[in-house]
A and B are shown apart, each in its own frame.
Chain A
Amino acid sequence: KQEVTQIPAALSVPEGENLVLNCSFTDSAIYNLQWFRQDPGKGLTSLLLIQSSQREQTSGRLNASLDKSSGRSTLYIAASQPGDSATYLCAVRSDSTSGTYKYIFGTGTRLKVLA
C-alpha cells in the first residue's frame, strides 16, 4: 500500500532564503508525481508534474526532483517570497500494475515566508 510522507510538517523562513521540501513514498512503482500548493480556503494548484521516467522539472523559481528508486522527491524553492506562503503537497500516482488510478497525497508542509 502506497504511503506518502512529507517532512517537515511546518517551516518558517525569512524572505530570500532558498529552501527544500521533502516527500517520500513507500512504493517505487509510480506513474508520476505532482507537487501542489494549497492556499487557505482555496483548492489546490498544480505546480510541477514529474513523469516516472524523468529526474526533474523546473518552473520559474521552483525545481522538483525525483529519485524513484529511493522513493524520494524534493521541491526546491529559490529566493523565497512572502507570496510563497502556503501548504505544499506532493501526490503520487501508482503505475498500471497497481490496478488503481488514484493519487495518494502527503499531509503537506506548511510554509511561512517572513517579510
Chain B
Amino acid sequence: GAGVSQSPSNKVTEKGKDVELRCDPISGHTALYWYRQRLGQGLEFLIYFQGNSAPDKSGLPSDRFSAERTGESVSTLTIQRTQQEDSAVYLCASSLDQVFSENEKLFFGSGTQLSVL
C-alpha cells in the first residue's frame, strides 16, 4: 500500500475484554515496530519484528500483551483482559531496515486510539 495502515482507528472497550489491533506495513518493509503513546506522554516501545520473528520484545508491559506477524506483512497486537491503564494510542511503524541506508527511515501509521472504560 501507499502507507502504513492501522485498524481500527478508534476502539472503545470495557475493562476485562480482549482487543486486537491490526497493522498493515508498507509492502516489502521487513522491519515493523509497535509503540504506545499515553495522553501527553512520549512514545513507549513495545515490540520489534524483523520479518516474522520478534528479536526484541523487551517493551511488552505484561503477559497480557502479545503480538504476531505473518507473511512478513500484517501484524496483530493483542491485549487480553484490558485495564484502564492500557488506554493510549497504539502506533505501528515499518521500514526497509537496510543497513546504513536512507531506507531505514521509519514510516508510521495514524494509530489506534484505545479507550478502556
Q: Which residues of A contact B (CB under 8 A)?
A: 32, 34, 36, 41-46, 49, 51, 53, 89, 91, 100-108
Contact assessment for B58 and A49 in the assembled complex, using a CB-CB cutoff below 8 Å:
no
| Chain B, range 10-50, C-beta contacts under 8 Å to A | 31, 33, 35, 41-43, 45, 48, 50
Contact assessment for B100 and A34 in the assembled complex, using a CB-CB cutoff below 8 Å:
no
Query: Among the listed A43, A89, A91, A103, which residue makes an inter-chain contact with B111, where contact means beta carbons less than 8 Å apart?
Result: A43
Contact assessment for A108 and B100 in the assembled complex, using a CB-CB cutoff below 8 Å:
no
B104 interfacial by beta-carbon distance below 8 Å: yes
Report the minimum CB–CB distance from A68 to chain B (whole Å). 15
Contact assessment for B42 and A44 in the assembled complex, using a CB-CB cutoff below 8 Å:
no
In Å, the complex CA distance between A49 and B100 comes to 10
Contact assessment for A49 and B104 in the assembled complex, using a CB-CB cutoff below 8 Å:
yes
Interface string of B85-117 (1 = CB under 8 A from A): 000000101000000101011111111000000
